[in-house]
Amino acid sequence: MPTRTVFFISDGTGITAETFGNAILAQFEFKPRHVRLPFIDSVDKAHQVVRQVNHTAELEGRRPIVFTTLVNVEILQVIEQGCKAMLLDMFGTFVRPLEIELGMKSNHRVGRFSDISKNQAYHDRIEAINFSLAHDDGQSNRDLEQADVILVGVSRSGKTPTSLYLAMQYGLKAANYPLIPDDFERQQLPGALLPHRKKIFGLTIQPERLSEIRNERRPNSRYAALENCRMEVAEAEAMMRRAGIRWLSTTTKSIEEIATTILQEVRPERLEY
C-alpha cells in the first residue's frame, strides 16, 4: 500500500488527538506515517498546517487523514476549509452532541494540561512520579507507608515500567522491589516489606520469555540462562503463594493491561473518574 500520512493537530500538546486516533487506526492493518502538530493556536499557524497537509497530499497522491482536537472555531475553520484531507474533528464529533444532550456548554478549554498551577491532580502525579523513581528497584525503604502499591518480582519481570505507568497515568505512588536469591534462601519477603503486605502485588513471567529479555541485557550470562530463570521464577511464585500475595504473569500482557489489573485489585476507585 502506498504511503499514507496521518496528522494529529491540536492547540494543546496533541496527546489526546494522537491517543484517540491511534486507537482507531489500530483497527486497520496498515502502518501510516504519523505527524503530530501541537500548539496550533493561531490562524497563521493554521494556514501553515494547511500548506503542509496539502503538500503531503500532492507528494503521496492520496488524501492524508487528519485528527483534530482544536477548540478555537476560527482556527478549525481554516483547517476544515483549506485541507485536502479526510478530517476527523473529535470535538465536533463528541463534544458538541454532548452539549446538546446535557443542555450546557463545555469549557472549551485548550489542552488537558492548561492552568496546571491550579490542578492538584497534576501536582499529585508529579509527586507520585518522584516517589516511584526514588523507590525503583528497591533503592529506598523510606516512606513505604506512603506507597499506594508495592510491586515485587524477579528482575526484568516488568516492575519498573509498570510502576512508572501507574505514577504517570493514575498518580499512584508505586514502589518496586526485586526478589533475589538471598530472599529465596530465607524463603520470605524482604523484611522492610512485611509491615506493608496488604499493598504488595506480585509480577511473574514465563522463564523462556525472561531468558530472552535478560539475554538482551547480559548475553550468555548465568543471569540470563534459562535454567536460572526457571529457578528464580519458581522460587518467586512459591514465595508469593506462601505470603498470600496477589500476582499475575506479565508474559503476554501490555503495561496498560498489567496496570489495570493491579488497580482492580489494589485501588479500584482509581478506575473511576
CA 250 distance to own-chain centroid = 15
On whether 160 is known to bind a ligand per the annotation, the reply is yes
Q: Is the pLDDT of residue 65 over 80?
A: yes
Determine if residue 92 is labeled as part of a ligand binding site.
no
Length of the chain: 273
pLDDT of residue 108: 63
Tell whether 156 is in a known binding site. Answer: yes
Closest to 226 (Cα-Cα) out of 238, 212, 240: 212
pLDDT-based confidence at residue 111 (cuts at 50, 70, 90)? low
31 in a labelled binding site = no
Share of the chain above pLDDT 90, in %: 71
157 marked as binding residue:
yes
What pLDDT is stored for residue 2 in this prediction? 58
Q: Which three cell numbers stand for residue 170?
A: 493514575
Phi, psi of 125 (to 5 degrees): -70, -40
Q: Say whether pLDDT at 54 is over 80.
A: yes
- Please give, one letter per residue, the 3-state secondary structure of 183-207: HHHHCCCCHHHHHHHHHEEEEECCH
Q: In angstroms, what CA-CA distances link 272 with 40, 170, 260, 267? A: 31, 11, 12, 10
The pLDDT assigned to 273 comes to 42
**Spatial separation of the C-alpha atoms in residues 128 and 133, rounded to whole Å:** 9
Residue 14 marked as a ligand binder: no
Interval 172-215: pLDDT, tens: 999 999 999 999 999 889 999 999 999 999 999 999 999 999 99
For the chain, what is the mean pLDDT?
90
pLDDT of residue 1: 52
